[in-house]
Amino acid sequence: MAEGVYVAYYRVSTAKQGRSGLGLEAQRDAVAAFLNGGSWSLAQEFTEVESGKRSDRPELANALQACRVYGAKLVIAKLDRLSRDAHFLLGLEKAGVDFVAADMPMANRLTVGIMAMVADEERRMISARTKAALAAAKRRGVTLGGDRGSRLSRKARDAGHATMAKRADERAADLGPVLRELHSAGVTSLAAMARALTARRIPTSRGKTGWTAVQVQRVLVRAGLRV
């Protein structure tokens, strides 16, 4: 039984299919059947007219962005609607978006499992190479070790701040189109935008459901927008 917020993504291979609805209605029906029952909401829907052999699909990028904005899960009708390239499917993990296929709901867990095994093997190989390098350095007389205290260096602190700033900038970029849409619709004050974001159930950067005018202002500044 489906629970939570979803963003739907449909893909047809030709412009003719896009105009006629061939295959599109079947995908919508499959997604509707998957979501039938439970406590869920469909935030947005995106339709792509594109070849499955290409990975530069703008509507899929928009769908992933919407997932990040709403904290939603991407739902597709069939697994091959995303791509026939397994490497591309694994790349979804980098987008920070979870997904589920209506025709194969367990595929998501399978994909994550594959990725976990690959990552585990990679970690094992890196660990083995690191140990070999340290052993070789020790044989050469290199002194190993150093300050093992809990204090972070300035470089480490700066790197941490840079990472947080990058995430905030990325979140602001995702929210930029939503804020521009609100502004165009006449929602121009910070307080009104905060109420609108809260009403749309778009989470804040900390995952909270309620927005404040100050939070909206910070996002606007990072996104380079003015109201």
pLDDT in tens, 179-225: 999 999 999 899 999 999 999 989 988 888 889 999 999 999 988 88
| Tokens standing for residue 140 | 């050469």
Q: Where are the domains of the chain?
A: 3-105, 154-223
Find out whether 7 and 72 touch, Cβ atoms under 8 Å. yes
SS3 content of the chain, % helix, strand, coil (to 5): 55, 15, 30
Residue whose structure tokens are 């840079």: 162
Q: pLDDT digit string (tens) for 139-171?
A: 887 766 655 455 667 777 777 788 888 888 888
Residue 78 · residue 30 · CB < 8 Å: yes
CA 18 to chain centre: 26
Q: CB under 8 Å to 190, separation ≥6 — which residues?
A: 213, 214, 216, 217, 220, 227
Task: Please tell me whether the overall predicted TM-score, pTM, comes out greater than 0.75 for this model.
Answer: no
> What's the pLDDT score for residue 117?
60
According to DSSP H, which parts of 71-153 are helical?
Answer: 86-91, 107-139
3-state SS, residue 158: helix
Tell the CATH topology of 3-105: Rossmann fold (3.40.50)
The closest of 169, 176, 225, 184 to 202, measured between CA atoms, is 176
Q: Which residues sit opposite 76 in a β-bridge?
A: 9, 101
